[in-house]
Structure 1
Amino acid sequence: MEIKQLKYFIEVAKREHLSEAALELDIAQSAISRQITQLEKELQVTLFKREGRNIHLTDEGKHLFTEATKIIDQLDETIRLFHNQSESNHFIIRIGYVESYISQVLTLLIQAFENKSDSVVEPILMEESDILNALLTDQIDIAFTELTQTLKQNSSLKINPLFEENFHIYVPKDDPITMATNPPLIQFSNKMIYELYALPSNIRQTLEKVVETPIRTVTHTQIAQYLLNKERGYIIAPSYHLLDKNPQKWVDVSLEHTELRRTICSVVRPDNRKNDLQLMLTTIEQLLSRSATYH
């Protein structure tokens, strides 16, 4: 049984006239007759009584008319539902982003975009390992993520490098490292290192190759400041995460000269035709496409 057979049957049943149904459906009368015959054969019933040029529904035909009407109505309602949902989704820009400087400026970006557009933005914080697949499977429209070799090698994506993200480390004031110019990471090898919030996985891996002791995580600036005050360790963080200045207790040492750096980019699929996506990309370019935005 096919949907078109039910539709043909319903039109004939409403009119009890083949030629009128054919005219309404804009198909040949013979095509309708053929489909009705196939439907009767499959159901093993007679749907119409034929009396010369006139046809009338049988009891089985009346029963099928009731059920077929329900099926087609439900089908039409389902189609309308998805069309409405699709139209609504066309005005939603879903942004997937990894924890980075983007988190600090995302509100500004959303406001700037929504002030010029009828579309709305849904921000979604994601893991680095999930974000590319989400973009490729249309779960998100734009990705803010690290520019990796995997991304560079994917010619099906439109990639826009935005800025380089660097890191810094807070060191107790009397530590000899504070006197060094551009100290290499190896000088921190035997130190107790705390990350202020979780570092990006590749940055942490690079650091772990140098540091001999396990890297601990703290998630509050007051804890980080307490550890520094007690000279219990060093606090490493992205350049946009800052502690209150306390020159009597600790010194902020930049690590931008080291390999602890990454490039953040925006990524889209060129075949994405969502409404106002180009406006969002322009807004991103205006607000974010510059090096060291947060310095």
Structure 2
Amino acid sequence: MEIKQLKYFIEVAKREHLSDAALELNIAQSAISRQITLLEKELQVTLFNREGRNIHITEEGKQLFSEATKIIDQLDNTVRLFHNQSETDHYIIRIGYVESYITQVITLLMQSFENESEAIIQPILMEEEAILPALLTDKIDIAFTDMSEELKQHRALKVSPLFEENFHIYVPKNDPITLATNPPLVQLSNKSIYELYPLPPRIKQTLTKTIKSPIRTITHPQIAQYILTKERGFIVTSSYHLLTKNPQKWLEVSLEHTELKRTICQVFRLDNQKHDFPLLLGMIDKLLSRSATYH
């Protein structure tokens, strides 16, 4: 039994007339007649009594009409449900992003966009390795993540650099490294290093090649300040994470001159048709496309 057979049967049953049903369905009368015959053979019943050119629905036909109508109505409701969901989804733009300066401005981006559009932004904090699969399977519409060759190899994606993200280190005031101009990472090799919030994987990997002792993670500025005050170690973090200034206890040293840097880019599918997507891209360019690191 096929859906089209039920639809043909319903139209014939409503009219008890093959040619009228064929006209309504815009198909040949012979095609309808053939499908009705196949349906009768499958169900092993007579659905219509034929008297010359006239047909009359049988009791079995009336029973099938009742059930077939329910089936087609349910089918139509299901199709309508998914169409409505698709329409709703058209107005939801999902942004996947890695921990970066983006976290500082995504609220502003959402507010600016939603003030001018009927669409809304759904932000999703993600691990870097999850970004590409999510883009390729339409789980997210746009991503803010580390620039990589892997991303640029996909022709279906548009990859554009936004800004360079740098890092800095807080050191106890009396440490000799504060006297150096643009100290190389090797000067940190024998130091106790703490990361204030987890560093990006590639940045931490670069740092661990130089640092002999394990890099420990802390997630609160007050802990970092206490460690610096007691001269127990150095604090490495992204340049947009700032500790309260205390020149009597610690100083900030930029690592912008070192290999501890990354390029944050925007990535999206070229075939994205979400509502007001070009408007969002324009706002991203206005708010985020910079060559310098944000502070």
Distance 2:50 2:155 in 1: 64
Distance 1:200 1:60 in 2: 70
Distance 1:227 1:39 in 2: 82
Q: How do 1:29-44 and structure 2 match up within 5 A?
A: 29-44=29-44
Distance 2:44 2:211 in 1: 79
TM, length-normalised to structure 2: 0.97
AA aligned opposite 2:265:
C
- Please name the residue that 1:247 is paired with: 247
- Please name the residue that 2:147 is paired with: 147
SS state of the match for residue 143, structure 2?
strand
- Please name the residue that 1:52 is paired with: 52
**1:124 counterpart = 2:129:** no
- Please name the residue that 2:107 is paired with: 107
Greater shift in the superposed pair: 111-120 or 167-176: 111-120
* Cα deviation, residue 68, structure 1: 1.2
- Please name the residue that 1:93 is paired with: 93
Greater shift in the superposed pair: 232-241 or 36-45: 36-45
AA aligned opposite 2:15:
R
Distance 2:219 2:47 in 1: 73
- Identity rate, percent: 75
Q: Which residues of structure 1 form unaligned runs of 5+?
A: none
Two-structure CA RMSD over aligned residues (Å): 1.1
**1:277 counterpart = 2:277:** yes
- Please name the residue that 1:159 is paired with: 159
- Please name the residue that 2:66 is paired with: 66
* Cα deviation, residue 59, structure 1: 2.9
Q: How do 1:107-256 and structure 2 match up within 5 A?
A: 107-256=107-256
Distance 1:172 1:154 in 2: 46
Distance 2:39 2:9 in 1: 9
Q: Number of residue pairs matched? A: 295
Distance 1:154 1:184 in 2: 36
Distance 2:63 2:217 in 1: 69
Distance 1:293 1:113 in 2: 23
SS state of the match for residue 245, structure 1?
coil
Distance 2:58 2:186 in 1: 90
AA aligned opposite 1:168:
H
* Cα deviation, residue 293, structure 1: 4.5
* Cα deviation, residue 136, structure 1: 1.0
SS state of the match for residue 36, structure 1?
helix
Distance 2:41 2:207 in 1: 74
SS state of the match for residue 166, structure 1?
strand
